[in-house]
Amino acid sequence: MALVPPSAWAAARAAEFRVDLIQLDPWAKPNPDLGLRAKEPYVGIIVDLLNEFERRSGHSTVRILTPYARVERDLQLGNTDFSIMAWGDARAAYANRGTALVPLEFGVKARKGVRLRTYEDLRQIVVAAPRGLKVDPRFDIDAEVRKELLLDYTQAIRMTIAQRDAKAVAGSLASLGHIIQKLGLEAEFGDVLVLNTTYLTVAFSKKSPLLAAEAQVNAIFKTIVDDGTAKTIYERWMFQARD
């Protein structure tokens, strides 16, 4: 079946999609700007992608800033129609993998002076990570790797440098680098271990009442990828200069 051409999307009956915004900087966060963008309650990569989706499709989105672990639960229950998040195979039980937007490396950054050259080195330390985050299939279920689970990347990074139990932080390496730079903590980190490469994707709940619109949603996001807009949005937020 042929996809609906872009020129026809706006003419089609507009739908309203429920979308959880993952509460991780720079993906989505409360808007700190009291200026021109103050009318938008949230800002970040996912917010800009959804704005572009609305502009191109004529559809609308109801957005809720949500801790990572609850995003997965909402997808499982059908409380959100879709989200934009790093794909992990375990998610296939309750969500369909849609358009791949940008590639993402996941791994662990160690505090300076802490050896982290191989996977086995992880078993010698405590690793901080956002609660519910999928880092790598092996790492996620490995009971021999001790993990300190926290609300978000910023908490995990601060705990890692606070000379407490955690000696490394796990997650999206680009996200970690972004926040570490913003906090001016580059000198506090050393070894990096890459564990997994995946993609930021559209994850559509299998229990969404709007599941019939899934193919159209993915087609719209594919146009955002194909003309380079998705990459531009990602890089603008992820690699912006430190405030």
Alpha helices in 124-240 (DSSP H): 137-141, 153-161, 173-182, 214-226, 229-238
Give me the domains of the chain, ranges plus CATH numbers: 16-103+199-238 (3.40.190.10), 104-197 (3.40.190.10)
Per-residue pLDDT of the chain (243 residues; tens, 9 = 90+): 344 455 444 445 789 999 999 998 999 999 987 665 567 899 999 999 999 999 999 999 999 999 988 999 999 999 999 999 999 888 999 999 999 999 999 999 999 999 999 999 999 999 999 998 889 999 999 999 999 999 899 999 999 998 778 999 999 999 999 999 999 999 999 999 999 999 999 999 999 999 999 999 999 999 999 999 999 999 999 987 444
Q: Model's pTM, two decimal places?
A: 0.82
Q: What are phi and psi of 37, to 5 degrees?
A: -95, 10
